[in-house]
């Protein structure tokens, strides 16, 4: 009995002196803990980008990633930010649901001394570093393509992203600047939100097919909606002669371009953004200051160059 008590006493002393081997985020000797709040795991591109960052972080034994899915709900996203602040993580990576709605969350993180990276989307306030691509440029690239390739007096349809989201607004604004403002002969027959979802893009296009006997193009704010539109057009035997443009440069979109079903996609470099985000984390881990913006440019994909993107 005395021997057992002696051993227990030694263990208690050792635990006191050296710790249990576990430590809270931010504690001495702890890993650099990152709270990653995704806009929505149901968004193919957002999930792909999150996965790419996770793969890079996995190889770093000093990094710990914790994930949360806002599911496109601003209130939920703010609660998730609060949870990471309570956990005292070292960095918060945010893919904002809304440019204005996320501001209180970023300011709370600022007050707690936690650096914030806005990944792929910006905020209208708070102190943060933006890592990603400028959504207005994606719209501009779509606009430039359509301006050059639409026939005279063309009639087009536009599939918006989720109303209120900065990406949806900026992509439409860029398209308007580069196509509609420069081609007054182009008529927009309808402009409806498909919430960046393939099934909604398909359903809206099915309704358009019934409403409009002729149109020359469908411009979508992302590839998922564009691919949904293609499905609807193929079923109705209306795809021939219709220009289809999307954004993200997903493998499915590249294959559709290769097959001649889709005219263009604007490549948003998820892997490139993930590398820049990971590099930003490394900079913070070294206690160095981040710049206000780290930009990764968009690129136009057409039948002329699609093969190089199929290899990525």
> Would 241 be classed as within a structural domain?
yes
| One domain, residues 79 and 187 | no
| One domain, residues 128 and 274 | yes
Band (164; pLDDT cuts 50, 70, 90): confident
Distance (Å, whole) CA 246 – CA 196: 10
| One domain, residues 121 and 49 | yes
> Would 174 be classed as within a structural domain?
yes
| One domain, residues 59 and 159 | no
> Would 229 be classed as within a structural domain?
yes
> Would 203 be classed as within a structural domain?
yes
Band (233; pLDDT cuts 50, 70, 90): very high
| Rounded percentage of the chain residues whose pLDDT exceeds 70 | 90
| One domain, residues 78 and 90 | yes
> Would 15 be classed as within a structural domain?
no
Do you know the residue count of the chain? 312
> Would 260 be classed as within a structural domain?
yes
Residue ranges making up the domain that contains 220:
135-267
Q: Which residues pair with 265 in a beta bridge?
A: 246, 301
What mean pLDDT comes out for the span 6-27? 37
Distance (Å, whole) CA 175 – CA 34: 35
Q: Do the Cβ atoms of 227 and 201 come closer than 8 Å?
A: yes
| One domain, residues 263 and 277 | no
What mean pLDDT comes out for the span 42-71? 94
| One domain, residues 164 and 82 | no
| One domain, residues 176 and 69 | no
For the whole model, what pTM was predicted?
0.78
Residue 6 has pLDDT above 90, yes or no: no
> Would 283 be classed as within a structural domain?
yes
Distance (Å, whole) CA 120 – CA 94: 8
Task: Give the CATH number of the domain where residue 174 resides.
Answer: 3.40.50.2300
**The pLDDT value given to residue 29:** 56
| Rounded percentage of the chain residues whose pLDDT exceeds 90 | 85
Tell me the backbone φ, ψ of residue 69, rounded to 5 degrees.
-115, 115
Residue 11 has pLDDT above 50, yes or no: no
| One domain, residues 237 and 286 | no
**The pLDDT value given to residue 30:** 76
> Residues 206, 299, 162, 178: is their CA dihedral positive or negative?
negative
| One domain, residues 128 and 195 | no
| One domain, residues 175 and 86 | no
When divided into structural domains, the chain yields a total of 2
How is residue 225 written in tokens? 């909606």
Across all residues in the chain, what is the average pLDDT?
91
**The pLDDT value given to residue 226:** 98
| One domain, residues 143 and 255 | yes
Residue 98 has pLDDT above 50, yes or no: yes
> Would 302 be classed as within a structural domain?
no
Helical residues (DSSP H) of 59-197, grouped into ranges: 74-86, 103-111, 135-149, 166-175
């Amino acid at each position: 009995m005395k021997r057992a008590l002696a051993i227990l006493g030694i263990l208690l002393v050792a635990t006191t002196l050296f710790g249990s081997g576990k430590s809270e985020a931010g504690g001495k000797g702890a890993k650099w803990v990152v709270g990653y709040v995704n806009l929505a795991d149901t968004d193919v591109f957002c999930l792909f980008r999150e996965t790419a960052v996770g793969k890079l972080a996995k190889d770093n034994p000093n990094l710990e990633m914790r994930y949360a899915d806002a599911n496109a709900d601003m209130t939920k996203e703010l609660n998730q930010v609060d949870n990471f602040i309570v956990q005292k993580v070292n960095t918060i990576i945010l893919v904002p649901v809304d440019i204005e709605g996320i501001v209180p969350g970023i300011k709370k993180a600022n007050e707690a001394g936690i650096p914030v990276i806005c990944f792929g989307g910006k905020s209208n306030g708070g102190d943060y570093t933006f890592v990603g691509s400028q959504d207005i440029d994606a719209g501009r690239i779509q606009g430039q393509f359509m301006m050059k390739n639409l026939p005279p007096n063309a009639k087009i349809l536009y599939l918006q992203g989720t109303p209120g989201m900065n990406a949806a607004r900026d992509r439409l604004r860029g398209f308007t600047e580069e196509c509609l403002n420069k081609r007054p002969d182009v008529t927009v027959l309808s402009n409806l939100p498909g919430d960046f979802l393939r099934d909604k893009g398909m359903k809206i296009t099915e309704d358009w097919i019934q409403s409009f006997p002729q149109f020359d193009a469908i411009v979508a704010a992302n590839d998922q909606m564009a691919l949904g539109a293609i499905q609807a057009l193929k079923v109705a035997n209306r795809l021939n002669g219709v220009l289809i443009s999307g954004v993200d440069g997903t493998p499915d979109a590249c294959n559709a371009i290769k097959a001649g079903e889709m005219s263009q996609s604007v490549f948003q470099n998820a892997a490139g953004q993930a590398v820049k985000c990971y590099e930003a984390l490394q900079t913070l881990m070294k206690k160095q200051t981040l710049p206000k913006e780290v930009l990764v440019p968009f690129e136009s994909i057409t039948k002329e160059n699609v093969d190089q993107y199929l290899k990525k």
